[in-house]
Amino acid sequence: MNTDNRREFLKKTTLSFLPFVLPAGAEGESKGAHHSFKNPTILLRSSWNDNNIGDIGHTPGTLRLLERYVPEAQIILWHAQPRPVTEALIAKNFPKVKIVQGAFFNQDESVTGDLKAAFEQADLYIHNSGMPMNYGLFNYEWDSTLSNLAPFYYCIENNIPFGLYGQSFDKFAPPSMSLYRDVLNRAAFIYCRDSDSVKFLKDNQFKTPILEFGPDGCFGIDVRDEEKGLAFLKQSGLEDGKFLVVVVRTNTPHLYASGKGDLMNPAPTPEQQQQDSLRLGKVKDLITQWVQTTGLKVLIAPEALKETKYAKTMLYDQLDADIKAKVVCRETFWSADEAMSVYARAHCMFGMEPHSLIMGLALGVPVVHARPLKHGRKGWMFRDIGVPEWLFEIDQDPSTAITGAVMAIHQNYPTAKAKAKKAMDFVKNRQKETMSVVKKLVLT
């Protein structure tokens, strides 16, 4: 794709405000001048964590969308840190995708090796779904802020379009606002996975040419591990369509970082422990009423590695014996493909985390999300895709309302299934529209 073609495209679309920076007199030597538009390259930064199936799930979801809607493109996946679980999943399901690893900068060293070659080859750089574009929400670490923004500045200096796909934005503490606004205004697109993030950016005078709602990349996920999933269901005595999935999140330390606490709660306080007790009390009420009313089973499933321990000790072990007999608590972690094979057989799902529920919706399974507000704006995505009645606030809404929503799904199951399908039809339409922008950027 040559520089003249790219500039002409930008002039003819809403991207005309994008101020790519080229050194004086360098137009003829700019990156991309030697590339063929028939074989464009998209560089995707993704895969934030192997210990959370949501952080795993973003990657195959967005890769599937790119594969489906931009089949001409060569995809390079960038992992800033090794992600062996995700990499095995990608190798199995996306054998054509090349994976590169490495930090963008390391002390006195700038980008080098395979990562540098990937940027030199790229016709578009995409930062995949998540919420790292915040400062002061979870921490005040400039290193992490710069590690996310530095690749964008590299793209600006080298005339590489870049965009953000399925992001949430919650906080730009001083003095970060002007820095984020400077670089993100020069993006080709920002797709926010919730409309509140779109409003937040616009209210703070962000002027990115395309700044719209675009679903979390995880909505595109379709990978399965049927062998493992079916084996687990058989071993656990869970029948197709006859169990509720429950996913919790607690204010407890990561299992692999003893003493440091959870990312969102570096040192759980007595108040946070009390918060866990109240939250899990509501979940206990839900499980109890589900079992007593429907006679169906419950699977307590982990979205994060650490909950394989804490969901058992803080929820499962606290259930009454007669209820516990109908509940399965998974005590081993899993990858997103095995989880998908299990979720596909669920009757419905309840979760305090959103991404297992995203996977459920992608499979046509009705879901209820009771979010902790500290998780940020991302929970609003359920309202935005058309199921606001399935969204609650775990600390504010009463147990009766949350349980009532799950029971209503059971009582009116065909209606709930139709509602889940309608929500996913909306998601798929937006996926198609967002990917059309990606395709034009790399093929024009």
CATH code at position 209? 3.40.50.11720
Q: What is the pLDDT confidence band of residue 266, given thresholds at 50, 70 and 90?
A: low
Handedness of CA 386, 373, 218, 53 (dihedral sign): negative
Rounded to whole angstroms, the Cα distance separating 23 from 342 reads 53
Exposure of 408 by Cβ count < 10 A (0-12 exposed, 13-18 middle, 19+ buried)? middle
Q: Quick check: 298 and 244 in contact, CB under 8 A? A: yes
Q: What percent of the chain is predicted at pLDDT more than 70?
A: 89
Sheet containing strand 124-127, edge to edge, reads 98-101, 74-79, 41-45, 124-127, 162-167, 189-192, 211-213
- Output phi, psi for 186, to 5 deg: -95, 5
CATH code at position 331? 3.40.50.2000
CB atoms within 10 A of CB 140: 11
- The pTM for the full model equals 0.90
Rounded to whole angstroms, the Cα distance separating 173 from 282 reads 34
CB atoms within 10 A of CB 23: 11
Same domain, 419 and 437: no
The whole-number pLDDT of residue 243 equals: 98
Same domain, 356 and 251: yes
Rounded to whole angstroms, the Cα distance separating 384 from 332 reads 33
When the pLDDT of each residue in the chain is averaged and rounded to a whole number, the result is: 90
Q: Quick check: 339 and 286 in contact, CB under 8 A? A: no
Beta strands per DSSP E along 215-371? 243-247, 297-300, 327-329, 348-351, 367-371
Which tokens belong to 276?
């866990």
Same domain, 189 and 258: no
β-pairing, 124-127 vs 98-101, is: unpaired
Same domain, 259 and 191: no
CA 204 to chain centre: 24
User: What residue type is assigned to position 293 of the chain?
Assistant: T
- Neighbouring residues of 428: CB distance < 8 A, sequence distance ≥ 6: none
Q: How many domains does the chain have?
A: 2
Same domain, 384 and 359: yes
Same domain, 248 and 183: no
Rounded to whole angstroms, the Cα distance separating 16 from 13 reads 6
- Output phi, psi for 164, to 5 deg: -120, 130
Write the pLDDT tens digit of every residue in 105-118.
877 778 889 999 99
Rounded to whole angstroms, the Cα distance separating 292 from 404 reads 14
Same domain, 256 and 206: no
Which tokens belong to 172?
């730009």
Same domain, 45 and 111: yes
* Structural domain range at position 341: 226-424
Same domain, 246 and 375: yes
Give the mean model confidence (pLDDT) for residues 253-265: 52
Between 8 and 187, name the one with better pLDDT.
Answer: 187
Same domain, 208 and 257: no
Which tokens belong to 394?
């775990």
Same domain, 404 and 434: no
Give the mean model confidence (pLDDT) for residues 226-247: 98
Write the pLDDT tens digit of every residue in 303-355.
999 999 999 999 999 999 999 999 999 999 999 999 999 999 999 999 999 99
Same domain, 156 and 303: no
